[in-house]
Amino acid sequence: MLLERVRGRIAQREEAEAASEGASSGPVTLTPVVPPPPPPVDEPDLPTVLDKLDMTQALERRDYSRAMKELRGRLNQLQRPALPRCVRTFKHQHRG
């Protein structure tokens, strides 16, 4: 997007130079117009989900694997209605 604006600005300058037929007295300096960045927003330090996460909890590898299989299957079931039928069909047809 920025590159397109710069190229457009260069093209405008070149058209202006061509219209004036060399009436300028020196080289043209191209300076892209860039808006200033917005001022920083002071956000209050609100607690996040990660702040509330208890990192001392642990699962045995076997329990973790079992839970992940169940949750992965549940997530798959929840996602299916959200996928358009044509996308599902396309994915199934192109499996290797």
pLDDT digits (tens, 9 = 90+) for 8-45: 888 888 888 777 765 556 666 777 788 888 888 777 77
Q: Which of 6-10, 69-73, 83-87 has the lowest mean pLDDT?
A: 83-87
pTM of the model: 0.33
Domain limits for position 88: 58-93
The answer to the question of residue 39 being in a domain is: no
Residue 30 and residue 13 in contact, taking contact as beta carbons nearer than 8 Å: yes
Is 43 within the bounds of a domain?
no
Residue 44 lies in a domain: no
Q: What is the pLDDT of residue 94?
A: 57
Give domain status of residue 65, yes or no.
yes
Report the number of distinct structural domains present in the chain. Answer: 2
How many of the other CB atoms lie within 10 Å of CB of 6?
A: 14
Read off the pLDDT band of 72 (50, 70, 90).
very high
Q: Is residue 68 part of a domain?
A: yes
